[in-house]
Chain A
Amino acid sequence: AQSVAQPEDQVNVAEGNPLTVKCTYSVSGNPYLFWYVQYPNRGLQFLLKYITGDNLVKGSYGFEAEFNKSQTSFHLKKPSALVSDSALYFCAVRDIYNFNKFYFGSGTKLNVKP
């Protein structure tokens, strides 16, 4: 079975500091990993994905994520946080047996304080 875990319900960081939102995965086979962000009253917005290739994936709004096979992790990072980055972040893995299905983590609320 495919699954992802987000161990932190909430992450607090000061504006200008680097941020990390953690995600670990459990899959049989190659993982296809995604990060989405949800702003209040908005749908989930795609940030970035890892399918194959470079372990460091760059996405929207200055975010990047590092795929680490040995640690089965796909942590989301940004070198310098903005207050406007405050939102709910979801890690997801695509089912390799049924590409229509995504399995989402429980979400991490990122609070960036001025």
Chain B
Amino acid sequence: EPEVTQTPSHQVTQMGQEVILRCVPISNHLYFYWYRQILGQKVEFLVSFYNNEISEKSEIFDDQFSVERPDGSNFTLKIRSTKLEDSAMYFCASSESEVLSYEQYFGPGTRLTVT
């Protein structure tokens, strides 16, 4: 069964540094998402992306965040200047359609630790 993959599985960075989290969505999917889960808290929506542009973003997704689909397979989340509170598990997801009946498929996550 096709899967969403994410790299790296764990990233440690110093405060103020830039990080790029990478995702390879399922190949025929057109809608892409990032979520995050701070330890012990809920999974929170960050952003959705379709047709090379952001279609929706949450209040968490401020100017330090950006997303990109640099080629036909990768989908990236960049955090420009990391803060301690960015430490979380980041999940990428993809979906074939935005139609209600279509579920999102999630990757295994990247654990980001900001020191």
Query: Which residues in A have some Cβ–Cβ distance to B below 8 Å?
Result: 32, 34, 36, 41-46, 49, 51, 90, 92, 94, 98-107
Q: Is the CB of A44 within 8 A of B43?
A: yes
Residues on A with beta carbons closer than 8 Å to the beta carbon of B35? 102, 104
Number of A-B contacts (CB under 8 A): 58
Q: Is the CB of A46 within 8 A of B105?
A: yes
Interface range on chain B: under 10, 10 to 19, 20 to 34, or 35 or more?
Answer: 20 to 34
Q: CB of B91 within 8 A of chain A?
A: yes
Q: Is the CB of A104 within 8 A of B43?
A: yes
With A49-B103, A98-B56, A100-B33 in contact, do A41 and B108 touch (Cβ < 8 Å)? yes
Q: CB of B4 within 8 A of chain A?
A: yes
Expressed in whole angstroms, the Cα–Cα distance for A90 and B43 within the complex equals: 9
| Chain B nearest CB, measured from A84 CB (Å) | 18
Residues on B with beta carbons closer than 8 Å to the beta carbon of A46? 103-105
